[in-house]
Amino acid sequence: MTGPPRYAIYFAAGADNALTRFGAELLGYEAYSGDEVPFPGAALRTAPDWRDITADPRKYGFHGTLKAPMALASDKTEAELVAACAAFAGKIRRIPVIRPVVDAISGFIAMIPAEPVDALQKLAADCVRDFDCFRPPLTAEDRARRRPEKLTERQRQYLDRWGYPYVMEEFRFHMTLTGRLDAERRGPILEMLRARFAALRLETLPIDRITLFKQDDAKARFRIIGEWTLARVELSASSRD
């Protein structure tokens, strides 16, 4: 084993959801089962090196980050983290609903919300705060790995406070489909991915659950070990009209 296990609080759409199958086929890996999945022919025709293009996101499985990967603090256990996930999911909240699109973001391609959703920003911020007690202190090595010299001042502050720079106002929900691509490669791949995504006819997507992913060691892929549906505010008939 190389390094301790790591855990992450992610969104995944559910084992039987068409969106999960869409992501698993493109990444070549399904995190619910831990199985390899054949790539679609359209991806291989568009980019014969598709396996290389998707190597980085394949390690994590198709997901949207809510609390970034972390080892457990020395005084915490996996059982305690599982119990905390259940307690978090049981809190009544408004369920974020996004209008999903496929687009480029920071040089890679992902499924992202077409516009910001306040309830999603709040859900992610709540995850960062509520699960932070499970994270060990940030080491000098981990801080250096984030290349703080390339971060903004606010991102550096978040890195030091929360162990990850892209939280709170810096958070952008995304479900990654490729690694970073040169601009000239992005166009045909984006066109292919948009066409496959359009076939899902997915006009809206509720971010209605949290999913606990585990990586056994640094060489392993992340795999889902727990999933909890979020309790939601029940709207009255008058408020739905």
Domain spans, the chain? 6-233
Structure-block tokens of residue 147: 């290349």
Structure-block tokens of residue 116: 């910001």
User: Which CATH architecture best describes the domain 6-233?
Assistant: Alpha-Beta Complex (3.90)
**pLDDT tier for residue 166 given thresholds of 50, 70 and 90:** very high
Structure-block tokens of residue 202: 């997915």
User: Which among 178, 170, 218 has a CA at the least distance from the CA of 69?
Assistant: 218
Give phi and psi for 204, each to the nearest 5.
-135, 155
Rounded Cα–Cα distance for residues 213 and 210 (Å): 10
pLDDT tens string 71-101 = 999 999 999 999 999 999 999 999 999 999 9
- Residue that has been written with the tokens 């790995």 in this structure: 145
pLDDT of the residue at 237:
45
pLDDT of the residue at 235:
54
Rounded Cα–Cα distance for residues 238 and 125 (Å): 30
pLDDT tens string 221-230 = 999 999 999 9
Percent of the chain exceeding pLDDT 90 equals 89
- The mean pLDDT of 103-121, rounded to a whole number, is 96
Mean pLDDT for all residues in the chain: 94
pLDDT of the residue at 232:
87
- The mean pLDDT of 163-190, rounded to a whole number, is 95
